[in-house]
Amino acid sequence: MINTAAAVQTLVVPSAEGTTKEKVFVPLSKTKLEIFRQQLLKISEDKIEVAIHLKETLKESNNHVFGNHQEWGTDTQSTSVIAIQQDLCDKDSKEIETALIRIQSGVYGKCKTCKGNIEEGRLEALPTTEICGDCSGAKRRV
């Protein structure tokens, strides 16, 4: 028996010890998947623009001639910050690519931990997430 009233659908399974509840993955509609796909593509485009800007900024920084040691120190610090931002852009791009692959393969919105559904509100806020709110909370408590 499937309980459709809950945000995450559950399957009640009879067992020798009584009944247990197991989460059941119900794929998102094609319309919702397309909305998430478009959102992910837009985020990806934005990340590409940021990455291009960071590369240009880093290139300008590398071409700078220093008048004194303070300028060199400030520029070195700026270069380190830019490198960190580039790494974050790369990480975000990989997460977006993974989410797009999950949409294509039909498992977008399926929690990797419990195999149930990731809440739609969570996907709207964190479109690259691979775990549901319950599992995320449990992970933080450990």
Asked whether residue 115 carries a pLDDT value surpassing 90, the answer given is yes
- The span from the CA of 27 to the CA of 46, in Å, is 28
Going by C-alpha positions, the residue among 110, 98, 100 that lies closest to residue 38 is 100
pLDDT of residue 82: 79
Going by C-alpha positions, the residue among 131, 111, 114, 99 that lies closest to residue 35 is 99
Please name the amino acid found at residue 98.
T
Going by C-alpha positions, the residue among 6, 11, 30, 29 that lies closest to residue 115 is 11
Q: What is the three-class DSSP state of 85?
A: helix
Label the pairing between strands 10-15 and 2-3: antiparallel
Asked whether residue 21 carries a pLDDT value surpassing 70, the answer given is no
Tokens (6 digits) for 92: 């975000």
pLDDT of residue 15: 52
Tokens (6 digits) for 128: 């690259």
pLDDT of residue 78: 72
For residue 115, what are the β-bridge partners?
A: none
- The span from the CA of 123 to the CA of 110, in Å, is 10
Q: Where are the domains of the chain?
A: 38-106
Asked whether residue 114 carries a pLDDT value surpassing 70, the answer given is yes
pLDDT of residue 34: 97
For range 35-43, the mean pLDDT? 97
Selection from 15-19, 33-37, 44-48, 68-72 with the highest mean pLDDT? 33-37
Going by C-alpha positions, the residue among 140, 139, 93 that lies closest to residue 114 is 139
Q: What is the mean pLDDT of the chain?
A: 80
For range 59-66, the mean pLDDT? 62
- The span from the CA of 37 to the CA of 44, in Å, is 10
Asked whether residue 50 carries a pLDDT value surpassing 60, the answer given is yes
84-107 pLDDT per residue, tens: 888 888 899 999 999 999 999 999
pTM above 0.95, yes or no: no
For range 67-77, the mean pLDDT? 55
